[in-house]
Amino acid sequence: MRKVNVMVMTATLGMSVLAGCGSNTNTNNNNNDTGNGNSNAAGEAAAAAADNGAKTELTYYYPIAVGGPLTATIEAMTADFMKENPDIVVKPVYTGSYADTAVKTQAGVQAKQPPDVAVLQSTELFSLLDMDAIIPLDDFIAQEGGDTYLSDFYPAFMENSQTEGKTYSIPFQRSTIVLYYNKDRFKAAGLDPEKPPATWAEMQEYAVKLAGDGKWGLEIPVTGYAYWMLQTFALQNGNNLMTPDGKKVMFNTPENVEGLQYWVDLAAKHKAMPGGVTDWSTVPSDFLEGKTAMMYHTTGNLTNVKKNASFDFGVSFLPAQKQYGSPTGGGNFYIFKDIDKKKQEAAWKFVKFMTETERAAQWSMDTGYVAVKKSAYETERMKAYAAEFPAALIARDQLEHAAAELSTHNNGRIVKILSDSVQAALTNELTPAEALQKAQDEADQALASFNK
């Protein structure tokens, strides 16, 4: 009994201390709201300094999604920017994978402490808009020449950047899916190493020929990217999976069922591909080990494959059914809302700098990502690189047939719904038609509140 009393007392004491903390935090926030809306000390100091005509400080979040020493590359690029713009300080913060970066950024947005500028997946557009986290860039773009400025970017990359007539992000590290194939295995199987499969029918025939002896003809990664790979079949068979406003999805069309059936059959019926679900990161290892003769993978892996393949390899468009097709992928620059006007302007300068023609070309060569601007392919260094390594142009050429990556309101849930269903079909738990019908029903429900 006595103990309980003392506990109650202590608890009350604790609560009052807590309440104290709470009110303190509130006053702090209020101060910041009237000030510059950024409550970290460095930010405040920088903003205060900026008012006196001194430096503007930017926090820049960036993810890394492919191999290579990219942190060093990014830091060198920001250093160059600061040399050119002595009144701006950019603090690059490496924030892990795309998913980690999204978590950190959005947690920051909710705590009213967003980064000033960040690279996030282009598909985050609707989530960021629903959170009211980002600003449209149209005014900045108008200063640079409006449509003439934008027209240098590949249209396929802009699809995930724009909605309802406004542009919200600028493409940066972008990719598409391409077909990698092992020319030595092609020769061994009696296939022409200069003629990769161009249609679904050819792909199936080649994959069956190349499989056997404990080796596979083809691997298509699934873990984490099942929806992305399904999109390749959907686009090749006619249409994308969602409306441009991100409010409706079309998962259960006969074309998509046919596409998923084709994918399932490659493993279950033709034994040309491993059964079940294949991991995203082991597929390139399998390819480099010669365990699979062909793979579907992001062009972002090009530099990795080029460096590590001990055999002659080729890169080509994904095979077509009604048409060629691949979804785009990768990250864009976003500028955040809850920050100082001056910072937004500085952030735009930075975004513009990072995507300038020469820099885009260099970035593409360093990583394997597609350069986001057409003019980047006209630069001398890119021309020289492409002459020596023509595979670097495949993803760019395929862009003509590329379309937006799956991006909707409530995107995290929609992506999971579709990915789960695709996995259920690949593991023979459901037929492709059942799986896509289930995905459609669940997705309709998840999008219902955005269609009011």
Partner 1 sequence: MKRTRPWLLLISKMKASLRRNGFAWLLLLPSLLFLLLFTFYPILLTLRLSLFQADLSAPEPVFTGLDNYRTMFQDEVFHKVMSNNVLFALGTVPLGIALALLMAVFANKALHGRGFMRSAFFYPTLIPMIAVANIWLFIYTPEYGFMSRVLSWFGVNDINWLGTPGLVMWAMILMIIWKEAGFFMIFYLAGLQNISKELYEAAHVDGVSRFTVFRRITFPLLMPTTLFVSIVALTNAYKLVDHLMIMTRGGPNNSSNLLLYYIYETAFSFWDQGMASALTVVMIAVLLLIAAVQFFGLDRRIHYN
Kindly give, in sequence order, each residue whose CB lies less than 8 Å from that of residue 100, ignoring residues fewer than 6 positions away. 63
Q: How far is the CB of 429 from partner 1 (least distance, A)?
A: 6
Q: How far is the CA of 40 from the CAs of 107, 112, 338, in angstroms?
A: 15, 11, 13
Q: Where are the alpha helices (DSSP H) in 35-97?
A: 41-51, 70-84
440 strand-pairing partners: none
173 strand-pairing partners: 331
Q: Closest Cα partner for 284 from 223, 195, 359, 348?
A: 223
Site string for partner 1, 352-391 (x = CB under 8 A): ----------------------------------------
Q: What is the DSSP string of 265-308?
A: HHHHTT--S-SS---TTHHHHHHHTTSEEEEEEEGGGHHHHHHH
Site string for partner 1, 259-278 (x = CB under 8 A): ---------------xxxxx
Which of 254, 275 has the CB closer to partner 1? 275
Of residues 124 through 143, those in contact with partner 1 by CB under 8 A are 127, 130-132
Residue 286 contacts partner 1 per CB under 8 A: yes
Which of 79, 103 has the CB closer to partner 1? 103
Side-chain half-sphere CA neighbours of 219 within 13 A: 27
Which of 46, 222 has the CB closer to partner 1? 222
Which of 2, 341 has the CB closer to partner 1? 2
Residue 349 contacts partner 1 per CB under 8 A: no
Q: Is 160 in a helix, a strand, or coil? A: coil
Which of 362, 419 has the CB closer to partner 1? 419
Q: How far is the CB of 112 from partner 1 (least distance, A)?
A: 14
Of residues 421 through 440, those in contact with partner 1 by CB under 8 A are 421, 423-424, 426-427, 429
225 vs 227: CA distance, rounded Å: 5
Dihedral sign (CA 124, 126, 132, 134): positive
Q: How far is the CB of 107 from partner 1 (least distance, A)?
A: 8
Residue carrying structure tokens 């630069």: 379
Q: Is 346 in a helix, a strand, or coil? A: helix
Q: Among 282, 379, 431, 437, which residue interacts with partner 1 (rule: CB under 8 A)?
A: 282
User: Per CB under 8 A, which region of 149-157, 173-181, 339-347, 411-419 contacts partner 1?
Assistant: 411-419
Q: How far is the CB of 373 from partner 1 (least distance, A)?
A: 31
Which of 34, 281 has the CB closer to partner 1? 281
Q: How far is the CB of 224 from partner 1 (least distance, A)?
A: 6
Residue 69 contacts partner 1 per CB under 8 A: no
Which of 16, 199 has the CB closer to partner 1? 16
Which of 137, 417 has the CB closer to partner 1? 417
Kindly give, in sequence order, each residue whose CB lies less than 8 Å from that of residue 321, ignoring residues fewer than 6 positions away. 199, 200, 233, 236, 237, 259
Residue 209 contacts partner 1 per CB under 8 A: no
Q: Among 16, 18, 201, 322, which residue interacts with partner 1 (rule: CB under 8 A)?
A: 18
Residue 189 contacts partner 1 per CB under 8 A: no
Q: How far is the CB of 434 from partner 1 (least distance, A)?
A: 12
190 vs 209: CA distance, rounded Å: 9
Q: Among 51, 75, 87, 279, which residue interacts with partner 1 (rule: CB under 8 A)?
A: 279
Dihedral sign (CA 56, 57, 63, 66): positive
Which of 6, 41 has the CB closer to partner 1? 6
Site string for partner 1, 92-131 (x = CB under 8 A): -------x--xx--x--------------------x--xx
Long-range contacts of 264-267 (CB under 8 A, 24+ apart): 264/425, 264/426, 264/428, 264/432, 265/204, 266/204, 266/207, 266/218, 266/220, 267/426
Residue 323 phi, psi dihedral angles, 5° rounding: -160, 170
Which of 395, 435 has the CB closer to partner 1? 435
Rg (alpha carbons) of the chain, rounded to whole number? 25
Residue 330 contacts partner 1 per CB under 8 A: no
Determine the Cα angle at 127 with ends 103 and 347, to 5°. Answer: 75
Of residues 215 through 244, those in contact with partner 1 by CB under 8 A are 222-224
Residue 64 phi, psi dihedral angles, 5° rounding: -125, 125
Residues forming the site for partner 1 (CB under 8 A): 1-3, 5-6, 9-11, 14-15, 17-18, 21, 99, 102-103, 106, 127, 130-132, 214, 222-224, 274-279, 281-282, 285-286, 289, 291, 409-410, 412-413, 416, 419-421, 423-424, 426-427, 429, 449-450
